[in-house]
Amino acid sequence: MTRWAVIFRDEPEMLKIRADRSLRDAHVAYAKSHPELLIGGGLKPDTNTEFCGALWIVEADKREDVETLVREDPFFVEEHRQFEIFTWGKILEDQTATL
């Protein structure tokens, strides 16, 4: 199993999508239904600024599986959100991180 980091970059219009409670609820339900999505969350340039993207850490066999996971997420709106997928390895592999 490979670990993958997904970096999302949002257009300003994505803030309207984030504000839609039904889409947010669907997004959270989607994330909860996919245990391969180990951790994820929104990114901001600073604590008092708007979201500008997101980060996911995913365990999957193939890059294509990660791309499908991204594209089927209710928060993925292609015209307002771009993403990049990278393989990811933890520097302190022998230590467990709890957030």
Tens-digit pLDDT profile for residues 11-64: 999 999 999 999 999 999 999 999 999 999 999 999 999 999 999 999 999 999
Q: Look at the block and give the residue holding tokens 């970059």.
A: 9
What is the CATH topology of the domain spanning 2-87?
Alpha-Beta Plaits (3.30.70)
How do residues 59-78 score in pLDDT, each as one tens digit? 999 999 999 999 999 999 99
Instruction: Give the start-to-end residue ranges of the domains of the chain.
Output: 2-87
C-alpha 16/C-alpha 48 separation (Å) is 18
